[in-house]
Amino acid sequence: MELKEAIRKRRSIRLFDKTKKVTDAQLRELFELTSLSPSAYNLQPWKFIVVRDEKRKGVLRACGNNQAQVEDASAVIIVLAKLNPSEDVDEIISDRDKKGYFPSSEIKQNYIKIMKEIDTNEEIKAWAIKNAYLASATLMLAATDMGLATCPIEGFNPDCVIKNFRIPSNYFPTLLITLGYQLPDAKIPERLARKTFEKTVDFEQFRKKQA
Amino acid sequence: MELKEAIRKRRSIRLFDKTKKVTDAQLRELFELTSLSPSAYNLQPWKFIVVRDEKRKGVLRACGNNQAQVEDASAVIIVLAKLNPSEDVDEIISDRDKKGYFPSSEIKQNYIKIMKEIDTNEEIKAWAIKNAYLASATLMLAATDMGLATCPIEGFNPDCVIKNFRIPSNYFPTLLITLGYQLPDAKIPERLARKTFEKTVDFEQFRKKQA
């Protein structure tokens, strides 16, 4: 599917066909595309838990304001932000080195220093979440391309998810995404309006309009 | 361009052709596509400042760790998170109402209540930033589709941007994105490796692998 078509076609779908399942092969392709999202220093501070078991979806529904779509969707993805991305630094630096990304060993040493210290940055949680959201946006567009429907759910209780899905303290559940096939006879209302270009885009400084 | 191709093609490009400019028409298309990103309650808590003036790009470069790409790119987009999205509630509710999104007036009243109170939520800043990142990911993919190169820059001083670009207190600069044409003879190293499916995807609960 054309990218523009996917962007225009993507909607938050809450009515899923319970009989149609997302396959393992589809998940592989979906997450391979998702993995290509950008992240600072290529640290990829994200992880995903795919919940397909009926009983577990029920638990997740209870953590997520009892939304029926959580049980109706073929799968629900728990998007986790990784709070100790420095764990992966050696591998990432070695990859960067091999591919000629470091013009000097000084720059390389500086990179290593920043990346090794990143877990202790007071902004680490906010930063990991932001990067996980870039990946989530990619995921929802990729799903659209694959004929799948999604809905991002921000309204859920993270402690409930942490407890029931055994999330360790170095990860934080930041978003749920329902994934599946749209109910064939679902009546999807017209897309909600977006703010205009004039309202959302300024030039050169705040509130300055295009000449 | 196919969506999958755009996802695979998108790279963080820091070497821009200074002679090729992004046109007003391209910006319109880019932001129209960006606007179709999802946001909670369709509040669209984002705004963008397009900086193209050479002198102003110089100021922005000084706010952004002196990265040359900020001046070399045709435009730099300051992504703002909107911290008082409740301002737009009446318009959004009326659109939702007109299109039949409310099954009952009770649900409608509940929506209005939540949306009107959203600015006072202690998570409002984090929430607006997350939504602005969803839009930013869409923007970078849409730019790729249009033959443009981008690079997200998280390392900048928000206070410097606030001061120099007259950002009021109800907005927060959360990301810079350079935008332009890639330098034709730029030697772009091989894409950095991504973590494997096995490393990033668990099933049913943390650390449980696919059966």
Per-residue pLDDT of B9-33, as tens digits, reads 999 999 999 999 999 999 999 999 9
Residue in chain B closest to A39 (alpha carbons) equals B152
| pLDDT of A134 over the 80 cut | yes
| pLDDT in the model for residue A114 | 93
Tell me the pLDDT of chain B averaged across its residues: 96
- Pairwise CA distance, residues A14 & A149, whole Å: 8
**Single-letter amino acid code for the residue at A97:** D
| pLDDT in the model for residue B93 | 96
- Pairwise CA distance, residues B102 & B106, whole Å: 9
Chain A residues in contact with B166 by the CB 8 A cut-off are: 205-207
- pLDDT class of A130 with cuts at 50, 70, 90: very high
Check A134 against B133: CB less than 8 A apart. Answer: yes
**Single-letter amino acid code for the residue at A113:** K
Check B204 against A130: CB less than 8 A apart. Answer: no
- Pairwise CA distance, residues B28 & B167, whole Å: 22
Q: What is the ipTM of this complex?
A: 0.96
Check B49 against A95: CB less than 8 A apart. Answer: no
| pLDDT in the model for residue B186 | 87
| pLDDT of B211 over the 70 cut | no
| pLDDT in the model for residue B208 | 78
| pLDDT of A210 over the 80 cut | no
Query: Mind listing the pLDDT tens digit for each residue in A180-207?
Result: 999 999 888 999 999 999 999 999 999 8
**Nearest-CA distance B16 → chain A (Å):** 17
Query: Mind listing the pLDDT tens digit for each residue in A147-193?
Result: 999 999 999 999 999 999 999 999 999 999 999 999 999 888 999 99
Q: Is B183:A17 a contact under the CB 8 Å cutoff?
A: no
| pLDDT in the model for residue A165 | 98
Residue in chain A closest to B57 (alpha carbons) equals A204
- A3-86+123-200 — its CATH code? 3.40.109.10
**Nearest-CA distance B164 → chain A (Å):** 8
Chain A residues in contact with B178 by the CB 8 A cut-off are: none
Q: Please report where in the chains the tokens 């170095």 appear, as a residue.
A: A170
H-helix or E-strand spanning residue A75: strand A75-82
- pLDDT class of B86 with cuts at 50, 70, 90: very high
- pLDDT class of A89 with cuts at 50, 70, 90: very high
| pLDDT in the model for residue A206 | 96
**Nearest-CA distance B160 → chain A (Å):** 13
Query: Mind listing the pLDDT tens digit for each residue in A30-77?
Result: 999 999 999 999 999 999 999 999 999 999 999 999 999 999 999 999
Optimal mutation site among A1, A2, A4, interface B, most CBs of chain B within 10 A: A4
Check B152 against A205: CB less than 8 A apart. Answer: no
Backbone phi and psi for residue B178, each to the nearest 5 degrees, phi listed first: -80, 145
- Pairwise CA distance, residues B128 & B119, whole Å: 10
| Structural tokens at position A123 | 């902004």
Query: Mind listing the pLDDT tens digit for each residue in B121-173?
Result: 999 999 999 999 999 999 999 999 999 999 999 999 999 999 999 999 999 99
**Nearest-CA distance B84 → chain A (Å):** 14
**Nearest-CA distance B129 → chain A (Å):** 7
Chain B residues in contact with A8 by the CB 8 A cut-off are: 33, 36
Optimal mutation site among B30, B205, B209, interface A, most CBs of chain A within 10 A: B205
The domain made up of B3-200 has a fold known as NADH Oxidase (3.40.109)
Check B88 against A51: CB less than 8 A apart. Answer: no
| pLDDT in the model for residue A188 | 87
Residues B87, B93, B95: CA angle, nearest 5 degrees: 115
**Nearest-CA distance B177 → chain A (Å):** 12
Check A52 against B203: CB less than 8 A apart. Answer: yes
Which percentage of chain B shows pLDDT scores above 90?
95
Residue in chain A closest to B164 (alpha carbons) equals A205
| pLDDT of A208 over the 90 cut | no
Residue in chain A closest to B49 (alpha carbons) equals A202
- Taking the whole predicted model, whether its pTM rises above 0.90 is answered as yes
Check A142 against B7: CB less than 8 A apart. Answer: yes
| pLDDT in the model for residue B187 | 87
